[in-house]
Structure 1
């Protein structure tokens, strides 16, 4: 069957995406099933992990949902996994602060935090090892205990625990994570003592995280709490959703308006808990999804960015500030990651083109 496969000629050593036009007989097929047919030598679970890492585009837009239904005539674009798969990132991390026990780094967009079955090379963890030498794995003991309890089912048991030790892959230095398409500050453990104490600080909710987000619409309040428990979506297990009463895990986010534009708002978001995709889901739940988020984009049709505005190729979410206690000295430690160019340029454009009066 001809699926419209097209592979442009490329210079030696330069891998270009494969593009497939979906034929009529594949209309309505799940994205992961499409990839299973197109790349039969890869397992469906591995392809699912790969999709959730933002490696696949449909009609030019990144799609992270394995259950996304493709339509006839749409174009699916990807670099195959395996020897030809894209690495965990090509942009370098930037060191904001370092000492013998930890480092604060600025993660660029498109860089995955740690290797997995489907991703390797260029991740935050691997870059950190290159910069600082051998690093401890702060979650190794917890992952081992989890594996002992649940065997091969790495995602069994407590949702938050499962998220931390998903796939049980080694992740030197990684204390916490950011989505691959979210930029900003992270703390890296350089000593075993620091790693253990940092993990404890995050677990006890003693770390203050401040994010910047550009959202659709204009919130009614200047600031407010979003208190809504989250649960893994039963129909789309790669997604999170707001749980019904009595279900899910507690989740709290405080947001505050920084600046209003015409149909868009720049806010800070401070998550008290650290659930998967928490800020993205919470802001969507109050009908103010993050600009550029292709997964949590709300039920209503949203106003598009004005003509001439800089394009946002990812969710407009940036981990801006981190305040914690130094795990060894006990001194307060503050770190701040500069606003990335794509978000800064979009905000400046909206500000300059705000209607007068």
Structure 2
């Protein structure tokens, strides 16, 4: 089988490994391995330097080595499919499901489920991330798009990079936000105090999130908010909320240890996802229904009459004006 190939053109001065990490959605270590295996050329010339400084308009060509197939683990769960065609699969990821295999992950993942379904997937980012264009944290539920071929994967990855793919989240936080709209634009890196956490770090990667008030809880101690990601850093929403002394209910890593927070899952849901379809070039939008745990919590602690009107996907998208970009 001929190894897969991909092409990208730079639009700014940037390190080679950083550029490919952003373009392919792989880890820096995986990109370094590709470069060291002589799989990458810049303007037709092979390079083994991960830190090579690229200039605008340079052409980067990646020739991927053949991937060895690994057997899927046994799967005892189902995943809701929101949409599927020859190019993409949009799903509603359940909470507690890890997206892709890793040495520390022992249970079946979303990738294992995809393999059991016999779905043809992109291999652009390697065996362990079959077709995964973007990820959600294990505890976060909601909308995800999967690429079923390399052309779709590349097109969607570019939309992530140029921010034409949009994601809106719903979260229940405490205490409520002070302002109707709160924008946090602060870099995020690995925490120096807890390797399981990320933190605000001046040496980290740029990260920007906007938060909007939706509805206070019946006792006004909590609040349902909408969140928009302008970047996609690990734990971004949780870290930015922690930076203003807010936390998501059920988040026992970044939240408090308050006895009142007995949630078994974090109340964070990737509610709406929009992008340009890689083949039809039409703008498409998908809304992932809330899981029963989050739906029940909202019905119990919030005004149910207002709730569903306020979380209308069209209304939420209109809340986030282009003026905040």
TM-score bucket of the superposed structures, by smaller chain = 0.5 to 0.7
Q: Over residues 135-173 of structure 1, what are the superposed CA-to-partner deviations in whole Å (9 max), with x where a residue is unaligned?
A: 122323xxxxxxxxxxxxxxxxxxxxxxxxxxxx62212
SS across alignment from 1:170? helix
Could you tell me the TM-score, scaled by structure 1's length? 0.61
Instruction: Judge which range, 122-131 or 100-109, deviates more.
Output: 122-131
Question: Is 2:75–2:113's contact at 8 Å kept on the other side of the alignment?
Answer: no
Greater strand proportion: 2
> Counterpart of 2:14?
none
Change (3 A) 1:130 1:316: same
Gaps of 5+ in 2: 1-72, 305-325
Question: Is 1:280–1:289's contact at 8 Å kept on the other side of the alignment?
Answer: yes
Is 1:209 paired with 2:195? no
Q: Distance in 1 between matches of 2:85 and 2:234?
A: 29
Question: Is 2:167–2:228's contact at 8 Å kept on the other side of the alignment?
Answer: yes
Q: Distance in 1 between matches of 2:112 and 2:206?
A: 32
Question: Is 1:88–1:112's contact at 8 Å kept on the other side of the alignment?
Answer: no
Give the ranges of 4+ consecutive aligned residues of structure 1 lying more than 6 Å apart after TM superposition.
none
* Correspondence for 2:290 among 339, 348, 351: 339
Structure 2 counterparts to residues 39-58 of structure 1, below 5 A? none
Change (3 A) 1:89 1:282: farther
Q: Distance in 1 between matches of 2:229 and 2:75?
A: 26
> Counterpart of 1:84?
none
> Counterpart of 1:253?
209
* Correspondence for 1:128 among 90, 101, 114: 114
User: In the TM superposition, what is the alpha-carbon distance from 1:342 to its structure 2 partner?
Assistant: 0.6
* Correspondence for 1:223 among 181, 199, 209: 181
Question: What number of residue pairs does the alignment pair up?
Answer: 230
Structure 2 counterparts to residues 1-357 of structure 1, below 5 A? 90-119=76-105, 122-140=108-126, 170-244=128-202, 247-261=203-217, 262-297=220-255, 304-305=260-261, 312-351=263-302
Gaps of 5+ in 1: 1-86, 141-168, 306-310
> Counterpart of 2:15?
none
Change (3 A) 1:111 1:241: same
Question: Is 2:175–2:222's contact at 8 Å kept on the other side of the alignment?
Answer: yes
Could you tell me the TM-score, scaled by structure 2's length? 0.66
SS across alignment from 1:342? helix
Q: Distance in 2 between matches of 1:88 and 1:216?
A: 38
Question: Is 2:147–2:153's contact at 8 Å kept on the other side of the alignment?
Answer: yes
Q: Distance in 2 between matches of 1:205 and 1:101?
A: 20
User: In the TM superposition, what is the alpha-carbon distance from 1:348 to its structure 2 partner?
Assistant: 1.0
User: In the TM superposition, what is the alpha-carbon distance from 1:117 to its structure 2 partner?
Assistant: 2.0
